[in-house]
Amino acid sequence: MALLFRAFYATSYSGYIRKTSKGVPTNAVYGFIQYFFDAISTFNPTHVICCWDMGSSTFRNETYSLYKQNRIEAPLELLPQFNLVKEVVAEMGVPNIGLVGYEADDCIGTLANKLQSDSEVYILTGDHDMLQLITEQVKIVIMNKGRSNYTVYDLETLYTTKQLTPLQVIDMKAFMGDTADNYPGVKGIGEKTALKLLTEYKSVEGCLESLELLPASVKKKIQDNLDMLHLSRDLARIRLDVPVECALNDCLWALRHEAAARKFEELEFGGLVKVLAEVVNG
């Protein structure tokens, strides 16, 4: 979803939105496919899965009614592209995974957790929340601005760049909250204080066990917002036990060239038909 939204806004900011001759908007799908093939050529995966949000209502909204309530509605031109992009992905031979009531992040976390025992997993995203999923076998590929601009995070990179372990990524959100997802964390504690607490006391539990050692102002903030601290941590934690399945055999990357080419021609993606030929020919 992050890639699809990025593709939409990257190509619509000028006011022009790519459409078919029948008036179907396709700019987000076109851009997504460009990102997709760029990542394929960069990382050369043996298997590929795409995970999607399946509506705005999830268990997190039920837990905290204000969760993501600050988000603006998706632009009208993007709405039909949510299903269209899944059609295109399926025609290429890639499984679409999503489950109502959960976010794509939870599906990604669950599948990465399952598949890491048999393979090395790379998660391509624009979302730094995913850094909590890093293990010895799971790496996070963050898409930076521009094409072919990636940062690959493993355990070492995460620690050297952010001074955090994967579990501490969750605890940072517990203290700081997340303005994008609209939950507050501990009011008055920002990134600098949160990082200092986790560096010294390692975790939320470590901080709570050492409350008497904290500066009086920080101690009071935590005590006054204890329920929200725990709630924010729960909202930030990506689930690893979503009831979704995708075995390695089901996601082998083998581009269905003819089916994809037909779909691209239907959507008037002339330039991408040429890209398909390049992918097939190596």
Strand ranges, E, within the chain: 50-51, 96-97, 121-125, 138-143, 150-153
> Are 180 and 139 within one domain?
no
Q: Is the pLDDT of residue 249 over 90?
A: yes
Q: Read off the pLDDT of residues 189-243 as tens digits, 9 standing for 90 and up.
A: 999 999 999 999 999 999 999 999 999 999 999 999 999 999 999 999 999 999 9
The predicted structure's pLDDT at residue 183: 94
Encode pLDDT of 79-94 as tens digits.
999 999 999 999 999 9
Same domain, 177 and 192: yes
Amino acid (1-letter code) at residue 112: A
Residues 70, 101, single domain; the answer is yes
> What is the percentage of the chain residues whose pLDDT exceeds 70?
99
Please report whether residue 87 resides in a domain.
yes
pLDDT of 147 above 80: no
| Closest to 51 (Cα-Cα) out of 85, 21, 78, 76 | 85
Residue 109 and residue 34 share a domain:
yes
- Assess whether pLDDT exceeds 70 at residue 282: no
Q: Are residues 146 and 248 in the same domain?
A: yes
Pairing outcome for strands 96-97 and 50-51 = parallel
Are 96 and 133 within one domain?
yes
Q: What is the pLDDT of residue 280?
A: 62
Q: Is the pLDDT of residue 120 over 70?
A: yes
Tokens standing for residue 220: 């009071």
> In Å, what is the CA distance from 211 to each residue of 203, 206, 208?
12, 9, 5
Residue 15 falls within a domain, yes or no? yes
Mean pLDDT of the chain: 94
Beta bridge partners of 82: none
Residues 193 and 80 in one domain: no
Q: Find the mean pLDDT for residues 240-269.
A: 95
Residue 276: its pLDDT value, please? 82
243 plus 112 within the same structural domain = yes
Return the CATH number at 216.
1.10.150.20
Q: What CA–CA distances, in Å, run from 144 to 36, 147, 180?
A: 14, 8, 18
Number of domains forming the structure of the chain: 2
Q: In which domain, by residue range, is 231 found?
A: 166-236
User: How many residues in total does the chain contain?
Assistant: 282
Supply the CATH number for residue 57's domain: 3.40.50.1010
Q: Which residue has the higher pLDDT, 16 or 82?
A: 82
Q: What is the CA radius of gyration of the chain?
A: 21
**pLDDT tens for residues 5-15?**
999 998 888 88
Note the pTM of the prediction, 2 decimals.
0.94
* C-beta of residue 3 within 8 angstroms of C-beta of residue 126: yes
DSSP letter string, 54-113: -SS-BHHHHH-TTTTTTPPPPPTTTHHHHHHHHHHHHHTT--EE--TBS-HHHHHHHHHH
Same domain, 141 and 260: yes
Answer whether residue 280 is part of any domain: no
pLDDT category at 127 given cuts 50, 70, 90 is very high
> What confidence category does residue 261 fall into, taking pLDDT thresholds of 50, 70 and 90?
very high
Residue 281 lies in a domain: no
